[in-house]
Amino acid sequence: MKHGGPVNPIDDFLARYLKEFDYYIQVGRIAAARLEATIGEAGIRGIVTYRAKAPSRLRDKCNQRNKKKIYSSPDQIYSDIADLVGVRVALYFPGERDQVSGIIARLFDVEGPPKEFPRDGNQRAGKRFSGYAATHHRVYLRTADLTESESALRECTYRDTDCLSAYACLVRS
């Protein structure tokens, strides 16, 4: 931030995000490992991956959303963007999606109902499979479930709104 100039909430947000980037990577790693182990124990075949949002993509997303929302603070941006961390479960058998949703509900604190994609009316006419189908959950790691080696994340929880989008997850106190 330049002294004496106007404060840019997007720049301030991105500077904080870059400082916290390793935290987001670790949260994704923990959530993905728990999901992968649990779906494997349930006999569900899938590939679990995770990512922290790339800073360049995050800047683009902030600028795009700012056109309608006009951000006034970094905290407003943190509250608005739910997918700073993403965990993806790609299933070999899409019919197991409900089972995975149940596992997600058992492993994490879930915020609100999941979002289904494609949304009704967005299906391609005449096709049995649109090429993309997903259930997005907003979830949080439970601090009580953190192992001793993971407990440092408790000290790194910056906001109660930290969220994985499991598709997504962060530590909630």
CA distances to 80, 119, 156 from 102, rounded to whole Å, are 26, 20, 28
- Of 3-17, 56-70, 96-110, 115-129, which gets the smallest average pLDDT? 115-129
Q: Is the pLDDT of residue 34 over 80?
A: yes
Of residues 124 and 55, more confidence is placed in 55
Q: How far is CA 120 from the centre of its chain?
A: 23
DSSP β-bridge partners for residue 172: 142
- Alpha-carbon distance of 73 to 14, in angstroms, equals 11
pTM of the model: 0.80
CB neighbours of 162 closer than 8 A, spacing ≥ 6? 27, 78, 84, 140, 170, 171, 172
* Residue 140 phi, psi (nearest 5): -130, 145
Geometric angle at alpha carbon 136, from 134 and 142, rounded to 5°: 140
Mean pLDDT of 88-105: 91
Token pair, residue 7, equals: 């404060």
Task: List the domains of the chain with CATH numbers.
Answer: 9-172 (3.30.460.10)
